[in-house]
Structure 1
Amino acid sequence: MSGIREERHRMRVGVFQFPGSSNITENYKYIIRAIEEAAENKVRILVFQECAACGYPPVETPEIENIDFELLNSVIIKVRLLAKENDMYIALGTIRKESSKYYNSLLLINSDGDVIGNYDKRILWGWDLDNFTKGNTQGIYEIDNIKVGFRICYEVKFPESFRELFKSNVELCFVSFCDVLENDSTERYNIIKSALVTRALENTMNVISVNSISKYQTAPTVVINFNGNIVDEAPRNQEYMIVYDYKSPVINFKTKGQIQNSLELLGSTRGLVQDGMEVS
C-alpha cells in the first residue's frame, strides 16, 4: 500500500503578527485590520499571537492587575461579532480572569461568533509563574473535519506537549508566541525555529507559529509542513499576515513507518488513518 490517507480536507489559514502593547484599544485596531485582510483573502481560521488583545506581562503590559478587563471583554465581544460576520474562526491571544486567577489563554471563536474553547497555557516558568495559573485542557479542537491543536510559546520546548497532540491524531498545530527581546538575537530566533521544525517532523504534523513584533522577534511567524520543510516565513519585525492553504497530507509508505514506530514506542492505541477512518 503506497499511502494510508488520501488528501481529504482543506482549510485556508491566516496568522498575523503585530506590535502588541498594554493599549487594548490600539491592539484592537490591529486585530480589526487583520480580520478585514483575512476576510478579503477568504481565510477560514485566523490566529493571533500570545496575549494579542492586551499585551503579555511584563514585556508588553507592566502589571497584570492594571489591565482593564471590562474594556478587554468588550473587545472580545466585538471580535466575536466580526468572526460571525466574516464566517471565520478566530484564535485570539488574551488573558482570562476567573475570580483572583489569571490565565494566559487562546480564545477559540467559531464562525457563529461562539466561544467554543479556551486553551490556557499549561507549562509555566518565570514571568508566567509570577502572573498566571496553569491551564488543564489539551487544546484540541475539530474545525471543518480537521483536528487542530494549540500551544503557547514556552511549550514549544517540551516534546511531550506535542506528543500529546500526536497521540490524539492532530494534524495541524498553531503555536502563539510573545517571544521578543530589547536586543536582537538571531541565534535565539534560529534555535526556536529549529524547535518548531523538530516538533513538526517528529510528530508528522503541520506546525504554524505566530509571534509579536513589539520588540526584536526571537521566534518566527512561520509555516512548517509535516516533513519539517519551511513553506512560508514572515519577515522579521514587520507587521505581516501569512495566508496558507492547508491540505490534509497524504501519508505515504515512509511516513506510515514513522507514525507506526512512534505509536509503538509510545504504547499508543491510536490507529492510523485510512479513507478518513482510523485503523489499527
Structure 2
Amino acid sequence: MKVALIPMRVEDGNFGTNWKEFERRFKEALQYSPDFIVFPEYCLTGFREWDFSGAKLYDEIVKRVSTLAKNNAVYVIFGLLEPYKSCVYNSALLINREGEVILRHRKFQEPMKFCTGNTVKTAKTEFGKVAIIICGDLYNKRIAKWIRKKKPDFLFVPMEYSPESGKISEEDLKAMSERVKLLSVKTFIVNSYPPGGAWVFDESGNLLRKSSGDKLLIFDI
C-alpha cells in the first residue's frame, strides 16, 4: 500500500485556480504509482467564514474527481463542502479505483451554522478497513469513541489548520501524536498550504514520516 499525501495550496473561493492545482498535484503524485492520493480539507473551494457558496459545486467536484480516480485506477480522499437541505456539512470522501464514492465523513468538530456529523463509518479496501475524520475531529472525544469501536486499519485526516504563529510547531505535532496514540490506528494527516505539512503516525503515536510546506509526502507500507 502506497500513500501520497498532498499539502495543496488552496485559494478561498477560487475553484478554477484550485482545480488546476489539484490536477497538477494529482499528476505529480501519479509518478510514484500510489494506491491512495490524499488532499486536504475543502481543498477545491477553500472556506472563508461564513461563505458557503462552494457547496453549490459539490456535484461538479464529485464528478470531476471520480473521473480522475477511475481513469487512473487510484483511491482518492479529499475534503469538500456538502449541501444538505438548509445547511452545509464539512465533508470528506473516499472514491475508489472505479470512481465510486465508497465512504463519506461529515465533520463533528464544527462551530455554528454548519451541519455536524454524528458517526464514523469505515470502507473495505484490498488493504483493510479505512476511516476518515477531518481536522479538529482528531481532538473530539466522541470521535475517539467511534474510532475505537470501528477499529479501522488506517485513518486519514484531511486538515486545514493555520496556527497563529503561521507554522506548525513541535507542540502541534506532540498533540497530534498523543491523539493518534489514544486512537491506536496508523494515521495519515495532510494539511492545506500555507502552512502545509503532512505526517504519518503509527498506532503508538510515533511519527514515522513528515513533510513541510507544500512538499509531497510518499509513504510505502
* 2:91 and 2:106 in contact (8 A); partners too: yes
- Give the distance between the partners of 1:120 and 1:245, measured in 2 at CA: 28
Unaligned runs of 5+ residues in structure 2 are none
Give the ranges of 4+ consecutive aligned residues of structure 1 lying more than 6 Å apart after TM superposition.
none
| Whole-angstrom CA distance in 2 between matches of 1:98 and 1:228 | 35
| Letter of the 2:166 counterpart | D
**2-structure distance, mates of 1:14, 1:203:** 22
User: How far, CA to CA, are the matches of 2:219 and 2:200 in structure 1?
Assistant: 8
Whether the aligned pair in 2 keeps the contact of 1:50 and 1:56 (CA below 8 Å) is no
Extract unaligned runs of 5+ from structure 1. Answer: 1-10, 247-280
Specify which of 170, 191, 211 is matched with residue 171 of structure 2. Answer: 191
1:259 alignment partner in structure 2 = none
**Bigger radius of gyration:** 1
Say if 1:205 and 1:226, in contact at 8 Å, map to a contact too.
yes
Q: Deviations over 1:179-202 (max 9, x none)?
A: 11464255xx33332222122223
The residue type paired with residue 226 of structure 1 is: E
SS of the residue aligned with 1:240?
Answer: coil
- 1:99-151 CA-to-partner distances (Å, cap 9, x unmatched) read 322110002211101112321102223xxx23x10123313222214111111
CA contact (8 A) 2:119 2:146 kept: no
Counterpart-to-counterpart distance in 1, 2:121 and 2:192: 21
How far the C-alpha of 1:68 sits from its partner, in A, is 7.0
**Could you tell me which residue of structure 2 aligns to residue 90 of structure 1?**
76
* Structure 1 residues 45-73: Cα deviation after superposition (integer angstroms, max 9, x where no partner): 11111111110232xxx621x33724x53
Matched, 1:67 2:54: yes
Q: Match of 1:231?
A: 208
- Asked whether 1:178 is paired with 2:160, we answer yes
In the alignment, the residues of structure 2 paired with residue 182 and residue 194 of structure 1 have an alpha-carbon distance, to the nearest angstrom, of: 17
Contact 2:8 2:214 in 1 (8 A): yes
CA contact (8 A) 2:8 2:25 kept: no
Task: Supply the distance in 2 between the matched residues of 1:67 and 1:200 (Cα, whole angstroms).
Answer: 31
Q: Counterpart amino acid of 1:207?
A: T
Whether 2:56 is the aligned partner of 1:79: answer no
2:2 counterpart of 1:12: yes
**Letter paired with 1:31:** F
CA offsets 1:193-230 (integer angstroms, 9 cap, x no match): 2222122223331111011113x45xx42111123221
Cα 1:185–1:75 change in 2 (3 A) is closer
Partners of 1:141 and 1:123 in 2: CA distance: 21
TM-score (normalised: structure 2): 0.89
Pairing partner for 2:182 from 196, 202, 207: 202
Number of equivalent positions: 220
- The residue aligned with 1:164 is 146
Q: Any residues of structure 2 matched to 1:5-154 within 5 Å, and which?
A: 11-21=1-11, 22-58=13-49, 63-64=51-52, 66-67=53-54, 69-70=56-57, 72-125=58-111, 129-130=112-113, 132-154=114-136
Could you state the TM-score of these two structures normalised by the residue count of structure 1? 0.72
Q: Does the 8 A contact of 1:51 with 1:104 survive in 2?
A: yes
